[in-house]
Structure 1
Amino acid sequence: MIATKIGKKSGVPDNYTRLGEYIAAAEEKGEKLHQFWIRNCDAGTNIEDLDLALLEIEAVRRQKPDIADKTYHLVVSFRPGDQDKLTTDDLMAIEAEYAKALGYGDHQRVAGTHINTDNFHMHIAFNKVHPETLKVVTPHRDFKILAKVSREMEKKFGLAIDPGMTDGKERASNKLSPTARNYEAHTWQESFQRHVLKHRNEILEGLRKAKTWQETHEVLARYDISLKLRGNGMILMSSDGQAMKASQLDRSCSKKMLEERFGVFTARREKTQCKSKRCYKSRPLMRHRNTPALWRRYLSTRKIIHRQPSLKVRALRNWKMFLLMEAYQDPLAMVLINAHRELLSLSKSGTYRDLPFRHKTAPRISTKL
């Protein structure tokens, strides 16, 4: 289960009635309503009572005219196969647990489950204004609350375990895509995907707070990341052209999930050079005490001969080739060659997964290339 708060779009009025009707109608193409219920409204609990319930909810909300955002819209996505494990009572119990944990147990709300092929999900629209006290409740650090409830419900109902954005944890962060692994194996330099995953938690924290496409672009730009459309999905791209699927960062970063939050994709208005310390740049995959001096020599050599279309220039296109060329005249280069080979061997076997790492001792110097 992945529980995601759908934030209010900037410049769009808070329209609870429209959201309630959307949940009841399941308006998306290919989608249909599965179950529907209403909580804490005198009007009733069924879909036939929706019109009166919405009037009742709006009457409460009108008593807080100075509050612009009075709706908490939650979407709970289930894994394929989970639908068959859950009865209507189970779904209502899951919804009640989220409400209780968020502080909305006594609040008015409309909830419904939608089916779209294998995409089984639940919408819950909470009225943030308490019907009696009129206190407006806004949960603090709700992503942790949602994660906790999700894990509890998965365990209680025997559902697929699906840690994601709400956990604040990395999802298989040590598992790079084949493209990223090939890049690191051929260059011995840190891939763009590793850079993104290294900053994953703070990126997701920033994306949680974003309310528009432009705010999303600004968050990503701090890490030298551009968000672009490709095919039917979205990709994250570095300034040097490396790319990864946006969903590899987190399922909540898929095109579908982001467009549910912000509407149809809009590109970044302005493109500026990233100057933050968190920007992606070429760096050795492995940190060793001998690395800095050789890395400076590598960058200096590339800069000097950059305009010479020679074999040597082509050979110096990456860090790995530089070390191989230097190995015959510099023992330190051979030390780093062996260190990188050890690193990649351990990574491939799964013995050492926290890459890149720092060697504490120099590996054995081999004379074989």
Structure 2
Amino acid sequence: MIATKIGKKSGVPDNYTRLGEYIAAAEEKGEKLHQFWIRNCDAGTNIEDLDLALLEIEAVRRQKPDIADKTYHLVVSFRPGEQDKLTKTDLMAIEAEYAKALGYGDHQRVAGTHINTDNFHMHIAFNKVHPETLKVITPHRDFKILAKVSREMEKKYGLAIDPGMTDGKERDPNTLSPAARDYEAHTWQESFQRHVLKHREEILKGLGKAKNWPEVHEVLAGYDISLKLRGNGMVLMSPDGQAMKASQLDRACSKQKLEERFGVFEARQRKPRGKGEYLTRTKRRYKPRPLVRHRNTPALWRRYLGKRKILSPQLSLMARALRNWKMFLLMEAHQDPLAMVLMVAHREMLEVLSNKPTFVPTTPLQSRKVRSGMRLR
């Protein structure tokens, strides 16, 4: 099992009610609610009590108007088939262990498990504001806490072991983080982290020649990457807000190592065109693109991009359906056999990448097309 904190996106308001409703509704196409519960709310513990519970939680949160981030959103992903091993009591006990370890044992929270075509997972939305003391809890180095609890729960419930960052093994620098894997599983699009790692050697070569912070920013901008401070470290950011730890590119790219070379961090200074020596032309731009390339993918991809361009803001249902490539294929599959073939190809490749049992196509046509046309970008 892999436990991942979903951080608050910059510029996006913290909306606990919206998150709670999402967990209860399991809104992604093909996804459905498996189990649901509420903790530490006088309103109740079941899904029927959700509306009142959310009002109760918001009342507590309003006592801290100056705090912008009052939600800790945790996603725990399980291996295929493990939902059959775990009862609701087991799932609630696992959730309670994470809560206790993070310091949220007495905090209000909404939790639920979802079943979809990719993986069985649990969402937990903690209110970081304590309902009585009103103290706001933000765990320090929570990735170690999450890894420790995950290993303990795997052992206790006989689940498959997913080694984490703190297990004493050297991490493969080309391994995607849980957040990047989740992005690819939910969109079937190449993650920003895959884009960065694809060009890892040439980026490191350029950074090795850099003599100051402007030159560091110049090298990274050539690959559509911006470098920013986050917490006690640094992250590499994509134009659409995806992030990865700078140290995952290489240990030499950690905040400590870079500041040892170049001094205290300096943010990139953008200069007007024609006046700046560090104005950079992007050589390797990061663009959303299908994770798996089939020989007939371009035609459907062009149709997808064309529909996104002409989409009317009033068509909210269609807008949600076109949020990403996966949703588009799911919408098209009922009328376009090619979309179904691409769905099979994407699912099989994701299962290979995550070491899951390989998806077995349901028809000979699917089998032939997947074997002859599937290729990872």
State the partner residue of 1:2.
Answer: 2
How far apart are 1:231 and its partner, in Å? 2.3
Equivalent in the alignment of 1:216: 243
Q: Secondary structure at the match of 1:160?
A: coil
> Structure 1 pair 108/229, CA: closer, same or farther in 2 (3 Å)?
same
How far apart, in 2, do the equivalents of 1:7 and 1:160 lie? 26
Map 1:257-268 to 2 at 5 A: none
Deviation of 1:208 after TM superposition, in Å, equals 7.2
What is residue 290 of structure 2 aligned with on the other side? 231
Paired residue type of 1:79: R
Moved over 2 A (4+): 164-175, 191-197, 204-234
- The amino acid of 1:129's aligned partner reads V
Deviations 1:275-294 (A, max 9, x none): xxxxxxxxxxxxxxxxxxxx
Please say if 1:51 is aligned against 2:51. Answer: yes
Do the aligned partners of residues 173 and 196 (structure 1) sit closer, same or farther apart at CA in structure 2, a change above 3 Å counting?
Answer: farther
Residues 134, 161 of structure 1: alpha-carbon distance in 2 compared, 3 angstrom cutoff: same
CA contact (8 A) 2:235 2:244 kept: no
In the aligned structure 2, how far is the partner of 1:228 from the partner of 1:46?
Answer: 42
- Note if contact 1:10-1:212 (Cα within 8 Å) is conserved in structure 2: no
Q: What is the match of residue 62 of structure 1?
A: 62
Query: Partners of 1:103 and 1:37 in 2: how far apart?
Result: 19
In the alignment, the residues of structure 1 paired with residue 122 and residue 241 of structure 2 have an alpha-carbon distance, to the nearest angstrom, of 28
Q: Distance in 2 between matches of 1:171 and 1:118?
A: 25
Task: State the 1:164 CA deviation.
Answer: 3.8
Give the equivalent residue in structure 2 for 1:110: 110
Deviation at 1:19, TM superposition (A): 0.3
Q: Name the CA shift for 1:42/1:19 in 2 (closer, same or farther; >3 Å).
A: same
- Asked whether the 8 Å contact 1:8–1:211 carries over to 2, the reply is no
Give the conservation status (yes or no) of the 8 Å contact 1:24–1:36: yes
TM-score of the superposed pair, with normalisation by structure 1: 0.52
| Matched-pair contact (CA < 8 Å) for 1:38–1:45 | yes
Contact kept? 1:10, 1:211, Cα under 8 Å? no
Aligned pair in 2 of structure 1 residues 209, 125: CA closer, same or farther (>3 Å)? Answer: farther
What residue is the counterpart of 2:147 in the other structure? 147
Decide whether aligned partners of structure 1 residues 28 and 93 sit closer, same or farther in structure 2, where only a CA change above 3 A counts: same
Q: CA deviation at 1:76?
A: 0.3
Q: Is the 8 A contact 2:235 2:243 kept in 1?
A: no
1:235-259 superposed Cα distances (whole Å, 9 cap, x missing partner): xxxxxxxxxxxxxxxxxxxxxxxxx
**Structure 2 Cα separation of the partners of residues 142 and 37 of structure 1:** 23
Cα shift at 1:165: 5.3
TM-score, structure 2 normalization: 0.51
Q: Contact between 2:73 and 2:124, CA under 8 Å: does it hold in 1?
A: yes
The residue that corresponds to 1:271 in the other structure is none
Inter-CA distance 264–112: structure 2 relative to 1 (3 Å threshold): same
Aligned partner of 1:344 in structure 2 is: none
Are residues 121 and 136 of structure 1, via their aligned partners in 2, closer, same or farther at CA, if it must alter by over 3 Å? same
| Greater gyration radius | 1
Pairwise mapping of residues 198-347 of structure 1 onto structure 2 (< 5 A)?
Answer: 213-214=240-241, 216=243, 219=246, 229-232=288-291
**Code of the aligned partner of 1:117:** T
Counterpart residue number, 1:13: 13
CA RMSD in angstroms comes to: 4.0
Please, which runs of 5 or more residues in structure 2 have no aligned partner? 176-197, 205-229, 254-282, 294-322, 326-377
Alpha-carbon offset, residue 228 of structure 1: 5.3
How much does 1:264 deviate?
A: 6.7
Structure 1 Cα separation of the partners of residues 102 and 240 of structure 2: 26
Give 3-state SS (helix, strand or coil) of 2:243's partner: helix
Distance (Å, rounded) in 2 between the aligned partners of 1:207 and 1:95? 30
Q: Is the CA contact (8 Å cut-off) linking 2:235 and 2:245 kept in structure 1?
A: no
Task: State the one-letter code of the partner of 1:3.
Answer: A
Distance 1:211-1:169 versus aligned 2 partners, 3 A rule: farther
- Which amino acid letter does the alignment assign opposite residue 216 of structure 1? A
| Distance in 2 between residues matched to 1:16 and 1:93, nearest whole Å | 23
Give the paired residue count. 220
1:52 is paired with a residue of what secondary structure? Answer: helix
Which has the higher mean CA deviation after the structures are superposed, 221-230 or 8-17?
221-230
The alpha-carbon distance between structure 1 residues 229 and 206, as it changes in their structure 2 partners (threshold 3 A), is: farther
Amino acid in structure 2 at the alignment position of 1:7: G
Once the two structures are TM-superposed, the CA of residue 216 in structure 1 deviates from its matched residue by 2.7
Structure 1's unaligned 5+ residue stretches are 176-190, 198-203, 235-262, 266-369
Query: 1:296-340: per-residue Cα shift (whole Å, max 9, x none)?
Result: xxxxxxxxxxxxxxxxxxxxxxxxxxxxxxxxxxxxxxxxxxxxx
- Per the alignment, residue 23 of structure 2 pairs with 23
